[in-house]
Amino acid sequence: MSRFLKYVLPLLMTSALAATSVHAEVTLHLYGYAGEAVDAVIDWGTPEGNAGCQRIVKGSGQTITCALTQEGTSVRVSGVVPQFGPGEFAPSGNTVSRVVSWGSVGLKSLDGAFRGNNRLIAVPITVPTTVVNLNRTFQNASTFSQNLSTWGMALKNVTSMTDLFDGALSQTTDLSQWCMRNFDEKPVGFMGRSAGRYPLMHNIEKNHPRYGECGVSLPANLPGNAEITIPFSFNLKSGLQIWSNAPSQTTVNLVTFDVVSGALPPGLTLDPLSGVISGTPTTVGEYAFKIRVRQN
Protein backbone atom coordinates (compact mmCIF):
# COMPACT_ATOMS: atom_id res chain seq x y z
CA MET A 1 0.00 0.00 0.00
CA SER A 2 2.68 2.48 0.95
CA ARG A 3 4.62 1.68 -2.25
CA PHE A 4 1.57 2.43 -4.40
CA LEU A 5 1.03 5.75 -2.70
CA LYS A 6 4.59 6.73 -3.28
CA TYR A 7 4.12 6.69 -7.05
CA VAL A 8 0.53 7.69 -7.30
CA LEU A 9 -0.53 9.96 -10.20
CA PRO A 10 2.78 10.48 -11.85
CA LEU A 11 1.67 9.96 -15.47
CA LEU A 12 -1.77 10.97 -16.67
CA MET A 13 -3.03 10.35 -20.15
CA THR A 14 -6.44 10.92 -21.59
CA SER A 15 -7.85 8.60 -24.15
CA ALA A 16 -10.11 10.28 -26.69
CA LEU A 17 -10.29 7.68 -29.34
CA ALA A 18 -12.18 8.15 -32.54
CA ALA A 19 -14.05 4.91 -32.26
CA THR A 20 -17.72 5.34 -31.49
CA SER A 21 -18.12 1.93 -29.91
CA VAL A 22 -18.51 1.67 -26.19
CA HIS A 23 -15.10 0.14 -25.85
CA ALA A 24 -11.93 1.44 -27.48
CA GLU A 25 -8.42 0.08 -27.73
CA VAL A 26 -5.30 1.76 -26.33
CA THR A 27 -1.72 0.59 -26.77
CA LEU A 28 1.00 1.67 -24.34
CA HIS A 29 4.74 0.99 -24.56
CA LEU A 30 6.26 1.02 -21.08
CA TYR A 31 9.94 0.07 -21.03
CA GLY A 32 13.11 0.31 -19.06
CA TYR A 33 15.96 2.44 -20.29
CA ALA A 34 19.74 2.35 -19.96
CA GLY A 35 19.66 -0.48 -17.45
CA GLU A 36 16.86 0.94 -15.37
CA ALA A 37 13.79 -1.31 -15.13
CA VAL A 38 10.18 -0.33 -15.47
CA ASP A 39 7.95 -0.79 -12.42
CA ALA A 40 4.53 0.58 -13.27
CA VAL A 41 0.86 0.27 -12.37
CA ILE A 42 -1.81 1.22 -14.89
CA ASP A 43 -5.24 2.58 -14.08
CA TRP A 44 -7.18 2.08 -17.30
CA GLY A 45 -9.92 4.44 -16.18
CA THR A 46 -12.82 1.99 -16.38
CA PRO A 47 -13.87 -0.91 -14.14
CA GLU A 48 -13.87 -3.16 -17.19
CA GLY A 49 -10.35 -2.12 -18.18
CA ASN A 50 -8.92 -2.52 -14.73
CA ALA A 51 -10.65 -5.92 -14.41
CA GLY A 52 -9.78 -7.24 -17.84
CA CYS A 53 -6.44 -5.71 -18.87
CA GLN A 54 -2.92 -6.09 -17.57
CA ARG A 55 -2.14 -3.48 -14.93
CA ILE A 56 1.37 -4.30 -13.71
CA VAL A 57 4.51 -3.92 -15.82
CA LYS A 58 7.96 -4.76 -14.43
CA GLY A 59 11.47 -5.49 -15.58
CA SER A 60 12.61 -4.61 -19.10
CA GLY A 61 9.06 -3.58 -20.02
CA GLN A 62 6.53 -4.50 -22.61
CA THR A 63 3.84 -3.32 -24.98
CA ILE A 64 0.32 -3.58 -23.61
CA THR A 65 -2.93 -3.22 -25.43
CA CYS A 66 -6.23 -2.79 -23.67
CA ALA A 67 -9.45 -2.94 -25.64
CA LEU A 68 -11.68 -2.19 -22.68
CA THR A 69 -11.20 1.55 -22.33
CA GLN A 70 -13.80 4.08 -23.41
CA GLU A 71 -13.72 7.25 -25.47
CA GLY A 72 -12.72 10.15 -23.20
CA THR A 73 -11.30 7.87 -20.57
CA SER A 74 -8.23 8.96 -18.63
CA VAL A 75 -5.54 6.34 -18.28
CA ARG A 76 -3.10 6.82 -15.41
CA VAL A 77 0.26 5.20 -15.06
CA SER A 78 2.18 5.30 -11.81
CA GLY A 79 5.47 3.95 -10.67
CA VAL A 80 8.73 4.04 -12.62
CA VAL A 81 8.61 4.34 -16.41
CA PRO A 82 12.10 5.12 -17.77
CA GLN A 83 10.93 4.93 -21.38
CA PHE A 84 7.46 5.78 -22.63
CA GLY A 85 7.72 4.40 -26.14
CA PRO A 86 8.70 1.24 -27.98
CA GLY A 87 12.19 2.28 -29.09
CA GLU A 88 13.69 1.92 -32.50
CA PHE A 89 12.19 -1.21 -34.00
CA ALA A 90 8.45 -0.98 -33.41
CA PRO A 91 6.48 0.48 -36.31
CA SER A 92 4.17 2.54 -34.11
CA GLY A 93 4.12 4.10 -30.67
CA ASN A 94 1.50 4.79 -28.05
CA THR A 95 -1.97 5.36 -29.42
CA VAL A 96 -3.23 7.97 -26.95
CA SER A 97 -4.64 11.22 -28.26
CA ARG A 98 -3.52 13.49 -25.41
CA VAL A 99 -0.94 13.38 -22.70
CA VAL A 100 -2.17 15.54 -19.86
CA SER A 101 0.85 15.29 -17.56
CA TRP A 102 4.19 13.55 -17.58
CA GLY A 103 4.05 13.24 -13.79
CA SER A 104 7.22 12.06 -12.13
CA VAL A 105 7.86 8.51 -13.22
CA GLY A 106 11.56 9.06 -13.84
CA LEU A 107 11.00 9.46 -17.56
CA LYS A 108 14.25 9.44 -19.54
CA SER A 109 13.26 8.38 -23.01
CA LEU A 110 10.41 9.08 -25.38
CA ASP A 111 11.97 6.94 -28.09
CA GLY A 112 9.23 6.23 -30.65
CA ALA A 113 6.60 7.46 -28.15
CA PHE A 114 4.13 8.74 -30.75
CA ARG A 115 5.56 7.23 -33.87
CA GLY A 116 2.90 6.98 -36.55
CA ASN A 117 0.26 8.27 -34.12
CA ASN A 118 -2.30 10.18 -36.17
CA ARG A 119 -4.68 10.51 -33.22
CA LEU A 120 -2.27 12.62 -31.24
CA ILE A 121 -3.61 16.09 -30.47
CA ALA A 122 -1.68 17.44 -27.50
CA VAL A 123 1.16 16.73 -25.14
CA PRO A 124 2.18 18.84 -22.08
CA ILE A 125 3.70 22.26 -22.80
CA THR A 126 6.94 21.20 -21.20
CA VAL A 127 8.85 17.98 -20.76
CA PRO A 128 10.69 16.60 -17.71
CA THR A 129 14.33 17.67 -17.62
CA THR A 130 15.16 14.03 -16.87
CA VAL A 131 14.48 13.18 -20.54
CA VAL A 132 17.62 12.45 -22.56
CA ASN A 133 16.25 10.58 -25.58
CA LEU A 134 13.80 12.03 -28.11
CA ASN A 135 14.63 9.65 -30.94
CA ARG A 136 11.68 9.08 -33.26
CA THR A 137 9.27 10.63 -30.73
CA PHE A 138 7.02 12.19 -33.38
CA GLN A 139 8.19 10.28 -36.41
CA ASN A 140 5.36 9.86 -38.94
CA ALA A 141 2.85 11.58 -36.60
CA SER A 142 1.80 13.39 -39.72
CA THR A 143 -1.23 15.27 -38.34
CA PHE A 144 0.28 16.38 -35.03
CA SER A 145 0.55 20.17 -35.19
CA GLN A 146 0.91 21.35 -31.59
CA ASN A 147 3.47 24.14 -31.11
CA LEU A 148 6.25 22.66 -28.99
CA SER A 149 8.40 25.78 -28.76
CA THR A 150 7.73 25.88 -25.00
CA TRP A 151 9.81 22.73 -24.55
CA GLY A 152 12.87 24.94 -25.21
CA MET A 153 14.95 25.16 -22.06
CA ALA A 154 13.61 21.87 -20.62
CA LEU A 155 15.59 19.97 -23.24
CA LYS A 156 18.93 20.76 -21.67
CA ASN A 157 19.77 17.11 -20.96
CA VAL A 158 18.56 15.60 -24.24
CA THR A 159 21.43 13.93 -26.09
CA SER A 160 19.70 12.24 -29.02
CA MET A 161 16.98 13.40 -31.40
CA THR A 162 17.39 11.12 -34.39
CA ASP A 163 14.33 11.24 -36.69
CA LEU A 164 12.47 13.31 -34.08
CA PHE A 165 10.26 15.07 -36.64
CA ASP A 166 10.84 12.78 -39.61
CA GLY A 167 7.49 12.59 -41.40
CA ALA A 168 5.81 14.87 -38.82
CA LEU A 169 4.47 16.81 -41.77
CA SER A 170 2.16 19.19 -39.87
CA GLN A 171 4.79 20.50 -37.46
CA THR A 172 5.53 24.25 -37.53
CA THR A 173 7.20 24.57 -34.14
CA ASP A 174 9.71 27.43 -33.81
CA LEU A 175 12.78 25.50 -32.67
CA SER A 176 15.10 28.51 -32.49
CA GLN A 177 14.93 28.60 -28.71
CA TRP A 178 15.22 24.90 -28.08
CA CYS A 179 18.16 24.11 -25.85
CA MET A 180 20.53 22.20 -28.16
CA ARG A 181 23.64 22.34 -26.02
CA ASN A 182 24.44 18.65 -26.68
CA PHE A 183 24.36 18.87 -30.46
CA ASP A 184 27.17 20.18 -32.61
CA GLU A 185 25.09 19.69 -35.70
CA LYS A 186 21.66 18.62 -36.85
CA PRO A 187 20.81 15.09 -35.65
CA VAL A 188 20.19 12.61 -38.45
CA GLY A 189 16.61 12.85 -39.72
CA PHE A 190 15.81 15.53 -37.13
CA MET A 191 13.62 17.40 -39.61
CA GLY A 192 12.96 14.60 -42.05
CA ARG A 193 15.02 12.04 -43.82
CA SER A 194 14.22 13.24 -47.30
CA ALA A 195 12.00 15.47 -49.38
CA GLY A 196 8.38 14.53 -48.78
CA ARG A 197 9.15 13.73 -45.16
CA TYR A 198 10.04 17.25 -44.06
CA PRO A 199 7.84 19.00 -41.46
CA LEU A 200 6.52 22.42 -42.43
CA MET A 201 9.18 24.25 -40.38
CA HIS A 202 11.90 22.71 -42.50
CA ASN A 203 11.52 25.58 -44.94
CA ILE A 204 11.45 28.29 -42.24
CA GLU A 205 15.13 28.94 -41.74
CA LYS A 206 14.70 31.34 -38.82
CA ASN A 207 12.83 28.68 -36.86
CA HIS A 208 15.60 26.11 -37.06
CA PRO A 209 17.45 25.16 -33.87
CA ARG A 210 20.72 26.80 -32.91
CA TYR A 211 22.98 23.82 -32.40
CA GLY A 212 25.38 23.95 -29.50
CA GLU A 213 23.45 26.73 -27.83
CA CYS A 214 21.10 26.91 -24.87
CA GLY A 215 19.60 30.17 -23.68
CA VAL A 216 22.37 32.31 -25.09
CA SER A 217 24.00 32.78 -28.48
CA LEU A 218 27.52 33.82 -29.31
CA PRO A 219 28.21 36.16 -32.25
CA ALA A 220 27.98 34.26 -35.51
CA ASN A 221 31.38 35.38 -36.69
CA LEU A 222 34.63 36.92 -35.56
CA PRO A 223 36.42 39.32 -37.83
CA GLY A 224 37.71 36.58 -40.09
CA ASN A 225 41.11 37.92 -40.90
CA ALA A 226 43.83 39.68 -38.98
CA GLU A 227 47.40 40.54 -39.76
CA ILE A 228 50.55 39.87 -37.82
CA THR A 229 51.91 42.85 -35.91
CA ILE A 230 48.55 44.65 -36.16
CA PRO A 231 46.75 44.83 -32.79
CA PHE A 232 43.46 42.95 -32.82
CA SER A 233 40.47 43.28 -30.52
CA PHE A 234 36.97 41.88 -30.59
CA ASN A 235 34.39 41.90 -27.83
CA LEU A 236 32.31 38.73 -27.80
CA LYS A 237 29.96 40.25 -25.23
CA SER A 238 28.88 43.00 -27.58
CA GLY A 239 27.35 40.45 -29.90
CA LEU A 240 25.94 38.17 -27.24
CA GLN A 241 22.23 37.40 -27.41
CA ILE A 242 20.24 36.25 -24.40
CA TRP A 243 17.23 34.20 -25.44
CA SER A 244 13.81 35.37 -24.34
CA ASN A 245 13.13 32.03 -22.65
CA ALA A 246 16.41 31.97 -20.75
CA PRO A 247 16.11 31.87 -16.96
CA SER A 248 15.25 35.28 -15.58
CA GLN A 249 18.58 35.67 -13.79
CA THR A 250 20.55 35.33 -17.00
CA THR A 251 22.52 38.49 -17.77
CA VAL A 252 25.51 39.39 -19.88
CA ASN A 253 27.15 40.73 -16.73
CA LEU A 254 27.47 37.26 -15.21
CA VAL A 255 28.51 35.10 -18.14
CA THR A 256 32.03 33.76 -18.51
CA PHE A 257 33.93 32.74 -21.60
CA ASP A 258 36.52 30.07 -22.29
CA VAL A 259 38.13 28.26 -25.16
CA VAL A 260 37.00 24.64 -24.96
CA SER A 261 38.95 23.21 -27.88
CA GLY A 262 41.50 24.32 -30.39
CA ALA A 263 43.58 27.39 -29.67
CA LEU A 264 43.44 31.10 -30.35
CA PRO A 265 46.07 32.42 -32.76
CA PRO A 266 49.38 32.97 -30.97
CA GLY A 267 49.45 36.43 -29.48
CA LEU A 268 45.72 36.60 -28.80
CA THR A 269 44.05 35.93 -25.47
CA LEU A 270 40.46 35.71 -24.28
CA ASP A 271 39.49 37.54 -21.11
CA PRO A 272 37.03 35.18 -19.39
CA LEU A 273 35.02 37.97 -17.78
CA SER A 274 34.94 40.72 -20.37
CA GLY A 275 34.76 38.36 -23.35
CA VAL A 276 37.35 40.41 -25.21
CA ILE A 277 39.72 38.63 -27.55
CA SER A 278 42.73 40.86 -27.93
CA GLY A 279 46.42 40.98 -28.57
CA THR A 280 48.80 41.19 -31.50
CA PRO A 281 48.94 38.10 -33.72
CA THR A 282 52.46 36.78 -34.08
CA THR A 283 52.15 33.80 -36.40
CA VAL A 284 50.61 33.48 -39.83
CA GLY A 285 48.15 30.61 -40.17
CA GLU A 286 44.56 29.42 -39.92
CA TYR A 287 43.26 28.71 -36.45
CA ALA A 288 40.09 26.89 -35.51
CA PHE A 289 38.75 26.90 -31.98
CA LYS A 290 35.56 26.58 -30.01
CA ILE A 291 34.49 29.23 -27.58
CA ARG A 292 32.01 28.58 -24.82
CA VAL A 293 29.96 31.12 -22.93
CA ARG A 294 28.00 30.10 -19.91
CA GLN A 295 26.29 31.27 -16.78
CA ASN A 296 25.67 28.87 -13.92
Among 135, 140, 213, 275, binds other proteins (CB under 8 A): 213
Looking at 87, 167, 192, 265, which residue binds other proteins (CB under 8 A)? Answer: 265
250 makes contact with other proteins (CB under 8 A): yes
Q: Which segment (24-32, 82-90, 165-173, 242-250) binds other proteins by CB under 8 A?
A: 242-250
Q: With H, G, I as helix, E, B as strand and everything else as coil, classify residue 51.
A: helix
Phi and psi at residue 136, to the nearest 5°: 60, 15
- Considering the complex, state which of residue 164 and residue 293 has its C-beta at the smaller distance from other proteins: 293
Cβ 30 vs Cβ 60: under 8 Å: no
Asked whether position 253 contacts other proteins by CB under 8 A, the answer is: no
DSSP of 42-80: EE-SSHHHHHHS--EEEETEEEEEEEEE-TT-EEEEEEE
Q: How far is the CB of 262 from other proteins (least distance, A)?
A: 8
By beta-carbon proximity to other proteins, the closer residue of 43 and 71 is: 43
- 94-133: contacts with other proteins (CB under 8 A): 103-104, 129
Give yes or no for a contact between 206 and 181, defined as CB atoms under 8 angstroms apart.
Answer: no
CA-to-CA distance for 179 and 215, rounded, in angstroms? 7
| Neighbouring residues of 278: CB distance < 8 A, sequence distance ≥ 6 | 231, 232, 233, 234, 268, 269, 271
The number of beta carbons lying within 10 Å of the beta carbon of residue 48 is: 16
Contact 213, 204 (CB under 8 A): no
Task: Note whether 42 binds other proteins by CB under 8 A.
Answer: no
For position 243 contacting other proteins by CB under 8 A, the verdict is yes
Q: Which is nearer to other proteins, 172 or 250 (CB)?
A: 250
- To other proteins, the closest distance from the beta carbon of 82 in angstroms equals 17
The answer to whether the beta carbons of residues 245 and 176 sit under 8 Å apart is: no
Amino acid letter at 69?
T
Position 281 contacts other proteins (CB under 8 A): yes
Instruction: Name residues contacting other proteins, limited to 149-188 (CB under 8 A).
Output: 153, 156, 181, 184
> Given the rule CB under 8 A, which residues bind other proteins?
5, 8-10, 103-104, 129, 153, 156, 181, 184, 210, 212-230, 242-243, 246-247, 250, 255, 260, 264-265, 268, 281, 283-296
